[in-house]
Amino acid sequence: MNLGLKEKVIIVTGGAKGIGEGISSALALEGAYVAIVGRNEADNQKAIEKIQAAGGQAWSFVAELTQPEACAQVIEAIGTTFGRIDGLVNNAGVNDGVGLESGNYERFVQSLHSNLIHYYLMAHHALPYLKASKGSIVNIGSKTAETGQGGTSAYAAANGGRNALTREWAVELLPYGIRVNAVIVAECYTPLYDRWIKTLPNPEETLAKITEKIPFEKRMTTSEEIASMVAFLLSKKSSHTTGQLIHVDGGYVHLDRALL
């Protein structure tokens, strides 16, 4: 695709692994200058090497986004490096299993810092740049906000917040020509997902049961499919799309799986 993203400066948080790596790679292949934000320099560099080998360009910015001051600092560093910011992909986070029965106040609040608060802070600090470029924001979300999962209250709450912020920001930023959308993920097979499934008593059987419940083609969504939608939403090809929660999930959330 030629989405008109050549030399656009786009931030991808958690852009070195899993879905984030897929997004970084897809944007770099479109000619964007990708600012990968992650807590581990080695992981960032590994992703950058893959991107460069494929002919793209990316830069590493190390930040622990659970620390509010780090969000301000990394935006300042990116702005200083490039002089502009054209897009922000809020992606970093983890399903950390902080449940209603198993959790506590400290773990719940920490999970919100890991999964929601930095979404707000990154957008807040990037806003002056996005106003100047009439850029775009894409928030990555999870089905847990709509379907529930069990045993993961904090992560579900964070994702409900991500959805709400997407709609709220789309309204607030209308006067500046900034579009805000979310891509909602259901069952996407990543290295993290693979590690989780292998912790279960019967991983292959469990994976087969999950896959069987995905309506379209009975398969997991790929990180490349998520990435393609993100790239589209960041581009002018989606110039009249804002405030949308777009499910790239093979129909998992909204199709009645009992009828399939």
Average pLDDT value for residue range 211-232: 96
Distance, in Å, from the CA atom of 174 to the CA atom of 156, rounded to the nearest integer, reads 28
Please state whether beta strands 245-248 and 33-38 pair in parallel, antiparallel, or not at all (unpaired). Answer: unpaired
Distance, in Å, from the CA atom of 149 to the CA atom of 127, rounded to the nearest integer, reads 33
Q: pLDDT tens digits for 26-79?
A: 999 999 999 999 999 999 999 999 999 999 999 999 999 999 999 999 999 999
- Taken in order of first residue, the domains within the chain and their CATH numbers are 9-186+223-246 (3.40.50.720), 187-220 (no CATH)
Task: From the candidates 119, 155, 189, 252, give the one annotated as an active-site residue.
Answer: 155
pLDDT of residue 260: 59
Distance, in Å, from the CA atom of 120 to the CA atom of 103, rounded to the nearest integer, reads 24
Other Cβ atoms closer than 10 A to 227: 24
153-172 helix and 105-112 helix, angle to the nearest 10 degrees: 40
pLDDT of residue 196: 78
Distance, in Å, from the CA atom of 144 to the CA atom of 146, rounded to the nearest integer, reads 5
Distance, in Å, from the CA atom of 21 to the CA atom of 224, rounded to the nearest integer, reads 9
Distance, in Å, from the CA atom of 157 to the CA atom of 136, rounded to the nearest integer, reads 24
Whether the CB-CB separation of 184 and 247 falls below 8 Å is answered with yes
pLDDT of residue 191: 83
Residue 258 in this model has a pLDDT that exceeds 80: no
Q: pLDDT tens digits for 205-219?
A: 989 999 999 999 999
Q: pLDDT tens digits for 133-162?
A: 999 999 999 999 999 989 999 999 999 999
Q: What is the reported pTM?
A: 0.95
Report which of 69, 120, 77, 85 is spatially closest to residue 11, judged by C-alpha positions: 85
- Whole-number Cα distances in Å, 101 to 104, 199, 225, 233: 8, 21, 35, 38
Residue 101 in this model has a pLDDT that exceeds 80: yes
**Structure confidence at residue 25 as a pLDDT band (50, 70, 90):** very high
**155 flagged as catalytic:** yes
